[in-house]
């Protein structure tokens, strides 16, 4: 069926604008995903620690057992209902925590779902859990690097920013970001409707109340920074990095010893891993991968410690970060299959050291 153009005294009318329904990333989406990832990881670590300390108790007894996967599903449901019901800005953060904790409780029991014997301790469970964590963290990293551009993206960001105007008062940072979005929208000729909306909305934002300079949030942040400068000066921070990198590097170099034993051990050599004897002459692929990876991480961290001792802060922190990323993103996947309890401890220590490295770079190297 052909379409007849509508004509007016001025000529042929413009065709009907195309309605776009493509996804638009939230301006705070990357932050929410990082909150999901952190909540997920902390939940798995604390759950495993609690179960180990309490002897893996069962809630219910008898015919029924209330597995913690059920509580995870409940939190996922609560998070979804909150996001659907309420539009407040803080709901996004509560939803992220519910999704992270709920997913952590649910995925922690993946071993029961992939084995016929409902084996919570199956070796494959830890790598699956860790890969899920890395996937969420990787998605958060990609979202952070996404450049939110175009009139639609700015309009969505401005609509979210107007929620803070309604709740009031605005933080100076939120006001600056919102005005920047409105300015870009008003200057974009591709969407004159959104440009007109931005021009009409700008006076509202400019007249909105703004938090005073002495607001408690910024005052608390300033107090924390002052305490950090007093209690954790540069030499103390560097010393902590040197000690942490050296100790973790030496511990990781155990992987090099394992490699040597696997490839050059004599007939009388016996290797015991997680209470299991590795027969002489056998080279389990995952053990080889984990050992080689740990050896690389150990060398990098040890070199980072040496560089920091010599005052080569940029090179040292870059090398330390590379080693820790290799450990967190790769080595621990194979290590989790071999020893689930060891990988939980390794992730906590490595992530803590990575935070120290990033904070040192922000304070003294790139800041």
pLDDT at 55: 85
Query: Tens digit of pLDDT per residue, the chain (367 long)?
Result: 444 444 444 444 445 566 777 888 888 899 999 999 999 999 998 998 888 888 888 776 667 778 899 999 999 999 999 999 999 888 999 999 999 999 999 999 999 999 988 888 888 898 899 999 999 989 998 988 887 788 889 999 999 999 989 988 888 888 999 999 999 999 988 889 999 999 999 999 999 999 876 555 566 777 888 888 888 899 999 999 999 999 999 988 877 776 666 555 544 445 455 555 455 444 567 777 778 888 899 999 999 999 999 999 999 999 999 999 999 888 888 888 777 877 888 888 999 999 999 999 999 998 5
- How many whole angstroms separate alpha carbon 207 and alpha carbon 78? 37
Domain boundaries along the sequence of the chain? 29-145, 151-211, 225-365
CA-based nearest residue to 41, from 358, 295, 359, 351: 351
Place of tokens 């969505």: 156
Element (H, E) at 220: helix 216-231
CA distance 68 to 106: 7
Give 119-123 contacts, CB < 8 A, sequence gap 24+: 120/56, 121/340, 123/337, 123/338, 123/340
Give residue 102's pLDDT. Answer: 96
In this prediction, residue 331 carries a pLDDT of 87
169: cis peptide before it, omega within 30°? yes
pLDDT given at position 335 = 80
Residues 59 and 149: their CA atoms lie apart, in Å, by 50
241 close to 308: Cβ distance less than 8 angstroms: yes
Q: Nearest CA to 282 among 262, 267, 266?
A: 262
Phi, psi of 276, deg, nearest 5: -120, 135
pLDDT for res 252: 86
What is the SS3 assignment for 55?
A: coil
CB 327 within 8 A of CB 293: yes
């Amino acid at each position: 069926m052909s379409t007849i153009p509508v004509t007016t005294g001025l000529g042929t009318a413009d065709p009907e604008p195309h309605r776009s329904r493509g996804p638009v990333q939230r301006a705070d989406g990357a932050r929410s995903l990082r909150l999901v990832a952190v909540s997920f990881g902390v939940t798995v670590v604390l759950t495993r620690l609690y179960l180990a300390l309490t002897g893996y108790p069962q809630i219910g007894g008898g015919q029924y057992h209330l597995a913690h996967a059920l509580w995870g599903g409940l939190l996922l449901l609560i998070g979804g209902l909150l996001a659907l019901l309420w539009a407040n800005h803080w709901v996004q953060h509560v939803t992220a925590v519910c999704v992270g904790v709920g997913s952590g409780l649910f995925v922690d029991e993946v071993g029961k779902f992939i084995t016929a014997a409902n084996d919570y301790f199956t070796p494959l469970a830890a790598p699956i859990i860790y890969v899920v964590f890395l996937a969420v963290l990787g998605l958060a990293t990609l979202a952070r690097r996404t450049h939110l551009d175009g009139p639609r993206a700015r309009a969505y960001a401005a609509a979210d920013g107007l929620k803070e105007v309604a709740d009031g008062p605005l933080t100076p940072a939120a006001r600056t970001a919102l005005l920047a979005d409105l300015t870009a929208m008003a200057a974009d000729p591709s969407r004159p409707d959104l440009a007109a909306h931005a021009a009409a909305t700008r006076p509202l934002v400019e007249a909105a109340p703004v938090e005073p300079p002495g607001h408690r949030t910024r005052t608390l942040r300033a107090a924390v920074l002052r305490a950090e400068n007093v209690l954790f000066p540069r030499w103390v921070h560097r010393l902590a990095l040197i000690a942490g990198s050296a100790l973790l590097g030496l511990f990781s170099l155990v992987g090099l010893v394992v490699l040597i034993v696997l490839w050059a051990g004599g007939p009388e050599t016996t290797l015991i891993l997680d209470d299991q004897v590795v027969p002489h002459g056998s080279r389990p692929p995952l053990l080889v991968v984990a050992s080689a990876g740990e050896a690389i991480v150990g060398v990098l961290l040890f070199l980072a410690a040496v560089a920091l001792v010599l005052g080569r802060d940029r090179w040292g922190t870059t090398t330390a970060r590379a080693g820790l990323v290799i450990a967190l993103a790769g080595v621990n996947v194979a290590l989790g299959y071999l020893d689930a309890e060891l990988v939980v401890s390794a992730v906590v220590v490595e992530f803590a050291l990575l935070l120290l490295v990033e904070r040192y770079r922000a304070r003294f190297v790139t800041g």
